[in-house]
Amino acid sequence: MDHSRKKAVIVGASTGIGRALAKKLSSEGYVVGLTGRSLERLEKLQKELPAESIARELDVRDLREAMHTLRNLIMILHGMDLIIINAGVHFQNERLNWNSEEEMIKVNALGFAGIANVAANYFAEHHAGCIVGISSVASHRGSGRAPAYNASKAFMSNYMEGLRQKFSATPIKVIDIRPGFVDTEMIRGRKGLFGIISPEQAANDIYQAIQKGKRIAYVPSWWKIVMWFFTRLPESLYHWGYRRYLAWDQGPFRAYEKAKPS
C-alpha cells in the first residue's frame, strides 16, 4: 500500500450513494476502505474500482463491534484522511410499529454517533481530517409517515453542528450533506417524489462539497431554496398540506381496499 496516498473510509458503501462515492473517490486516487453489512457486495464493488481498496463487514446495529472494526480498518489503512458516514435505513411507518422506529433510531442516530465518535477522536489525535455525514433534507421537519426517520436525521445534523463547534479552531472539517431524492432502494416505489437524481450525480456533488470544505451542502443545491421556504411554513399549514398529500397518495389504495370482496 502506498502510504503517501489519501485514504478514505465509507461506512455504508455496498449500495446507492455509498457505492457511487466509492467509485468517485477511487477514480480520484484515494485508497478506499469499504464497509457495509454485505461483504459479498463489497467484494464485487472492489473489482470495479481503479485504485486499491480494503473491504470489511460492518453493521452499525452492533455498534460496539462496528466501532472496533472501524478502528482496526484505520490501522490496516495506515491512517485516514476522510470518512463518509452513509449507513442509514428508512421505513414508511404510519402504524408506528416500534421495531421499525427502533431500527431507524439505532442505525441513523446511535450508529452515526458511534462511528462519528471514533472518527472525531482519531482526527483530534492527528490534528487533521474530514468527517462527512449523509443526513437528509428530511432533517428539517417531522413526518407523520416516518417520525423516527426525520428525527434521526435531525439528530445527525445537530450532532455534526456540535462537532463543527468543537473543532472550529482546528483544521478538522465536519460536513453535513443533505440529499433530496436519490434513485436508490430507499425511495423506489414511492409516489409524490420530484427532482430525483442518480447516485452518481449525488456522489459528484458530494465530492465537490468536500473539495470546497463546505459546512452544509444540499444535493442538488436547489434544495437549499426549497427547504428555506419549507421550514418557514407554520405548523398548522404544514400539517394541512400533509393531510392533503396523504389523501392524494392513499386515495387509489383505499378505493381498492373498499372494492375488495370481504
The domain limits of the chain are 7-231, 235-262
CB atoms under 10 Å from CB of 198, counted, come to 13
pLDDT of residue 257: 39
pLDDT of residue 165: 98
List strand residue ranges (DSSP E) for the chain, in order: 7-11, 31-36, 53-57, 82-85, 130-134, 173-179, 216-219
pLDDT at 49 exceeding the cut of 90: yes
Q: How far apart are CA 131 and CA 157, in angstroms?
A: 12
When pLDDT is cut at 50, 70 and 90, the band that residue 4 belongs to is: confident
pLDDT at 201 exceeding the cut of 80: yes
Is 149 tagged catalytic?
yes
pLDDT at 246 exceeding the cut of 90: no
Q: Which CATH architecture has domain 7-231?
A: 3-Layer(aba) Sandwich (3.40)
When pLDDT is cut at 50, 70 and 90, the band that residue 247 belongs to is: confident
Q: Which of 149, 159, 207, 218 is catalytic?
A: 149
Q: How far apart are CA 87 and CA 134, in angstroms?
A: 8
pLDDT at 258 exceeding the cut of 50: no
Nine-digit cell at 156?
Answer: 445527525
Bridge-partner residues for 175, per DSSP?
Answer: 132
pLDDT at 260 exceeding the cut of 80: no
